[in-house]
Amino acid sequence: MTDRIQLTPIGLLHTPFAHPRNLPIQSCFAPDVEGRIELYPAYINGLRDLEEFSHLILIYHFHRSPRTELVGRPFLENREHGIFAIRSPHRPNHLGLSVVRLLSIKPGILTFSGADMLDQTPLLDIKPYVSYFDHPPEVKNGWLDKHFRNGIPPENTRS
Amino acid sequence: MTDRIQLTPIGLLHTPFAHPRNLPIQSCFAPDVEGRIELYPAYINGLRDLEEFSHLILIYHFHRSPRTELVGRPFLENREHGIFAIRSPHRPNHLGLSVVRLLSIKPGILTFSGADMLDQTPLLDIKPYVSYFDHPPEVKNGWLDKHFRNGIPPENTRS
């Protein structure tokens, strides 16, 4: 089954990053960088009670990625890993995911911190981050664990 | 901007749940239920080094949802919340997300526990779960916190 699935953006992400070269590698490396969701008017009624959550899962389209790769070399590494073992934008279907901290909600505009995506990124979904669902105990982080001594991000990821 | 985005499934999810009425509400309520990813042959080279991770983020298509709602009443609640404050399948773009535990990888077949999606669900992406990226500290879980005393799932979610 390879049926195509059509998605329509529900809004746009506004961030300080006009170009990939300035982008934080991940949201956790840019905890204070603010972004803004412009939610299209048709979806505003879907926000009810979202303000009671501290964090959001944003699913968006890596709209500036020009290609699909099956392996890639992450910033922190000298060697390649499979595309499903890294968070590269150059992946099949070009779906991006970030966990961000919700700061405020006004009708149609949500502000958040932890922005790590390009300005003008098309937003596909907002889900509430639920620690009971989304935070498994005893996680092994593959090739990443060696880069985080005691959970501290590596030197070259800090701004 | 409401440009359409076309996605193509990278595989199929096989689970014990042929019908929505038997489905666990979330992966965390069905930690021992096993599922299987059938990854289409074109993508198998993307799995390199994924076996070093304990958990995966699966993004899939809620292919059996016949409608889009802006508010919904979750199983645990008597009142409605906005669609972006709940994890209902009846959401714009019908994107589903589950954090599951990886059990084994053979070429083209991945087994996992925590299956909470329907059998034959089209898979759109696999990402490595990375606690440094995906587990924020000090989470407020909105309307859900009152249902989880000391982090224990409510009685009516346990099988």
The confidence score (pLDDT) of residue B27 equals 66
Q: Which helix (H) or strand (E) holds A38?
A: strand A34-39
Beta carbons within 10 angstroms of residue B67's beta carbon: 8
Torsion of CA A3, A98, A11, A89, to 10 degrees: -50
Q: Which residues of A touch B122 (CB under 8 A)?
A: 1, 3, 5
The residue in chain B having the minimum alpha-carbon distance to the alpha carbon of residue A129 is B141
Which of A3, A43, A85 is the closest to B128 by Cβ?
A85
Residue A81's alpha-carbon distances to A75, A86, A87, A151, in angstroms, are 11, 7, 10, 22
Does residue A1 form part of some domain? no
Residues A117, A60: Cα–Cα separation, whole Å: 9
Q: Do B128 and A84 touch (CB under 8 A)?
A: yes
CA contacts within 13 A on the Cβ side of B87: 24
Q: Do B84 and A7 touch (CB under 8 A)?
A: no
The confidence score (pLDDT) of residue A27 equals 66
Q: Which helix (H) or strand (E) holds B37?
A: strand B34-39
Beta carbons within 10 angstroms of residue A55's beta carbon: 23
CATH number for the domain spanning A136: value is 2.40.30.70
| A&B contacts, CB < 8 Å | 252
Asked whether residue B67 carries a pLDDT value surpassing 70, the answer given is yes
Does residue B19 form part of some domain? yes
Residues A32, A24: Cα–Cα separation, whole Å: 11
Q: Do B139 and A129 touch (CB under 8 A)?
A: yes
Q: Do A7 and B9 touch (CB under 8 A)?
A: no
Does residue A4 form part of some domain? no
For residue A3, give the nearest of B40, B106, B91, B37 by alpha carbon.
Answer: B40
Which of A2, A124, A134 is the closest to B8 by Cβ?
A2
What total number of domains does chain B contain?
Answer: 1
Does residue A46 form part of some domain? yes
Asked whether residue A108 carries a pLDDT value surpassing 70, the answer given is yes
- Residue range B1-55, pLDDT digits in tens: 458 999 999 999 999 999 888 787 776 677 789 999 999 999 999 999 999 999 9
Q: Do A128 and B141 touch (CB under 8 A)?
A: yes
For chain A, the 3-state helix, strand and coil shares in percent, each to the nearest 5, are 20, 35, 45
Beta carbons within 10 angstroms of residue B149's beta carbon: 9
A155: Cβ–Cβ under 8 A, 6 or more apart, which residues? none
pTM: 0.94
| 3-class SS of residue B148 | coil
The confidence score (pLDDT) of residue A24 equals 78
Contacting B residues, span 26-45, partner chain A, CB-CB under 8 Å? 26-28, 40, 43, 45
Q: Which residues of A touch B61 (CB under 8 A)?
A: 5
Which residues constitute the domain of residue B49?
11-157
Which of A86, A134, A153 is the closest to B99 by Cβ?
A134
The confidence score (pLDDT) of residue A2 equals 55
Amino acid at A124: L
Average pLDDT of span A94-112 = 96
Q: How confident is the model at residue A157 (pLDDT cuts 50, 70, 90)?
A: low
Name the residue with tokens 């009443």.
B73
Here the ipTM equals 0.94
Residues B88, A62: Cα–Cα separation, whole Å: 24
The confidence score (pLDDT) of residue B21 equals 81
The confidence score (pLDDT) of residue B45 equals 97
**Residue from B131, B143, B149 to probe the interface with A (highest A Cβ count within 10 Å):** B131
Asked whether residue A130 carries a pLDDT value surpassing 70, the answer given is yes
- Locate all alpha helices (DSSP H) within chain B, ordered by sequence: 131-134
Does residue B6 form part of some domain? no
A66 at interface of B, judged by CB pairs closer than 8 A: no
- Higher pLDDT: B34 or B136? It is B34
Asked whether residue B156 carries a pLDDT value surpassing 70, the answer given is no
Does residue A2 form part of some domain? no
Asked whether residue B62 carries a pLDDT value surpassing 60, the answer given is yes
DSSP labels, A71-95 = EE--TT-SS-EEGGGS--SSSGGGE
CB B2 within 8 A of CB A40: yes
Mean of all residue pLDDT scores within chain B: 91
Does residue B4 form part of some domain? no
The confidence score (pLDDT) of residue B31 equals 79
Partners of B55 in the beta sheet? Answer: B101
Does residue B2 form part of some domain? no
Asked whether residue A62 carries a pLDDT value surpassing 90, the answer given is yes
| 3-class SS of residue A141 | strand
- Higher pLDDT: B83 or B152? It is B83
Q: Which residues of B touch A57 (CB under 8 A)?
A: 97
Name the residue with tokens 């590698």.
A25
Partners of B102 in the beta sheet? Answer: B112
Asked whether residue A158 carries a pLDDT value surpassing 60, the answer given is no
The confidence score (pLDDT) of residue A6 equals 96
Strands A121-128 and A34-39: unpaired
